[in-house]
Amino acid sequence: MAQYIADRRDVDFVLHEQLGVEKFSQHERFAEFNKKTVDLIIGEARNLALKEILPTQEIGDREGARFENGAVLTPKEFKRAYELFVEGEWLAMSEDPEWGGQGMPTTIALAASDFFNGANFALMMYPGLTHGAGKLVEAFGTKQQKELFLKKMFTGEWGGTMLLTEPEAGSDVGALTTTAVKNEDGTYSITGNKIFISGGDHDLVENIIHPVLARIEGAPEGTKGISLFLVPKIWVNDDGSLGEPNDIICTGIEEKMGIHGNSTCSMAMGSKGQCRGTLLGEENKGMRAMFLMMNAARLLVGMQGFCCASASYMNAVNYARERVQGKNLMQMFDKSAPGVPIIQHPDVRRMLLGMKAHVEGMRSLLYYAGYCEDQKLLAEDENEKARLQGIIDVLIPLCKGYITDKAFEVCSQGMQVYGGYGYIKEYPQEQLLRDCRITMIYEGTNGIQAMDLLGRKLGLNKGKAVMDLFGEIQKTINGAKEVDATADLAAQTEKVANKLGEVAMHMGATAMSEKVLNAFAFAHPFMDACGDVTMAWQLLWRAQIAAQKLAKAKKKDVAYYEGQIKSAEYFINSVLPITLGKMNAILNNNGAAVEISEDAFGAK
């Protein structure tokens, strides 16, 4: 059966009608990225995703990555798709052309990634991790490190990963035990074991460059004593040629619920005492380096989860148009009435509209985060740069935590629309659900995202970052009030946004009081409420634009614009009232979760 990934019409709406990315071409930095060029880029990304990458999705799930005789092998079909991807210079779309990038705005790169990750995000993890590792080299590498590694990584000739997690440490990175001892030649001998390393080893590239977190002998305990090192799979000589294999090996790969096509490796360093690496950045500043790159990594994970949801929705709505089952409810007692497509059944329509609203809101929110990055890059005023960075910082836990939570729910609904067929492997819905689930866990579990939002982002810049975001929301509300079709929706959104302001103040105060544990017990519901309001903002923004364009819309666009208004209408009338209930529960501040004794949980 036909499979779908991303809705080109909706991608174009966000890029051109909501965000107006073509205006970036007015700046010298992005002069070549006018509307025609942007549309060509998105068209090429979509073609590659549909024709070459999407066919590998089911194959990757069925065959998976394999660990044979000490080597990690990917499905053979991955190689052609990967080669075409790097030939098109898609790996480092927004990076400096000097190092193999295309220099395009982040917003446009995200739109292209929408198609790539929707086609097979397990495959796209390999270049995605390479890009993240390359950004670390770009930000903290010496001139020599950049010359040796950066272009090879950004062009996809070499791969990259991130060696962070250890068996006993888990999310508590400060408890790591991997050590580094300085050698006479300035390199470091690295010894330790890492687990859950996505793409830690594979056969798509000839060399893999591993950024590794380790503690130099004598360094302080905890995160303050962690440094970052570059450890190549094959040593790279000073002239750029490849030397001997380094003493870093994959000892096995995990059998997982989903993303079977990506190798999740256990890595051993220094088992022969010969693992060498070079310091990346300053000693004991490894965690600071990692946090600098965390925004991009978490935005990528949000995109991965969202893309599963987008594909699941598109599959579901098209299946619902074709699957004939049952009579129209208005003809239930007419024995001669024919069966109808299930899209005519009210409960199916409710599920589809809920999926539609969430997918559209998630797409706008993710693109908007990239749009803020582009604005920040072009801003000349330092205060404006700081304002935009603050908004980005507040949005990131929502883009990662809230979006992946809701993406999984959308994938579950996408399975439900198919009924029993959704649960079997003949159809793509069950794979999308399985693949999506990891996005709620890695790159910081969603509980950690909620704690980050409450513990760090709520008070960021003395609360200015949150207030700046609220200011952007209020601008949209004010504009939507001036449009007849969205005025009531704007008023309802404003009411809930104001309530969220009250809840945010309550959470901030509680987190600074003796009831701090209570506050963090409600951190995830608070993130959920913040996400709901942020989604309502994006959907209201979209609806306002659509309402203003409807009067002069071409016939082919009328249904799309009407659909935007219905998405906002559904979300604001059906979801936000539930959000108010969540907020009341938070304000009630019940302490059951922290007061219950461990024995009372039972299950010994």
Highest mean predicted confidence (pLDDT) among 292-306, 320-334, 536-550: 536-550
Provide the token pair at 225. Answer: 């004593």
Q: Given this model, what pLDDT does residue 461 score?
A: 95
Is residue 169's pLDDT more than 80? no
**Cβ proximity of 284 and 381 under 8 Å:** no
Q: 392-415, pLDDT tens digit by residue?
A: 999 999 999 999 999 999 999 999
Architecture of the domain spanning 159-283: Beta Barrel (2.40)
Question: Which residue carries 């394999």 as its tokens?
Answer: 66
- The candidate with the shortest Cα–Cα distance to 77, out of 56, 91, 106, is 56
Check residue 237 and give its pLDDT.
96
Residue 477 φ/ψ, nearest 5 degrees:
-60, -45
pLDDT at 173 > cutoff 70: no
CA distance 115 to 54: 9
The 10s digit of each residue's pLDDT in 72-90 is 999 999 999 999 999 999 9
Q: What is the H or E stretch that residue 148 is in?
A: none
Q: pLDDT at position 551, please?
A: 87
Where are the extended beta strands (E) located within 280-338?
Answer: 324-327
Residue-wise pLDDT tens digits, 422-481: 999 999 999 999 999 999 999 999 999 999 999 999 999 999 999 999 999 999 999 999
The answer to whether residue 289 scores a pLDDT higher than 90 is no
Active site residues: 443
β-strands 179-182, 188-198: how paired? Answer: antiparallel
Fold of 8-154: Butyryl-Coa Dehydrogenase, subunit A; domain 1 (1.10.540)
Q: How far apart are CA 22 and CA 108, in angstroms?
A: 10
> How confident is the model over 295-308, as a mean pLDDT?
95
Q: Which range among 117-121, 133-137, 166-170, 235-239 shows the weakest confidence by mean pLDDT?
A: 166-170
Mean pLDDT of the chain: 95
Q: What pTM, to 2 d.p., does this model score?
A: 0.96
The pLDDT assigned to 174 comes to 61
pLDDT digits (tens, 9 = 90+) for 263-284: 999 999 999 999 999 999 999 9
**116-129: b or e for each residue (b if 16 or more CB lie within 10 Å)?**
bbbbbbbbbbbbbb
Question: Helical H runs in 141-161?
Answer: 143-145, 151-154
Residue ranges covered by each domain of the chain: 8-154, 159-283, 445-599
**pLDDT at residue 290, as a whole number:** 83
144: pLDDT strictly greater than 90? yes
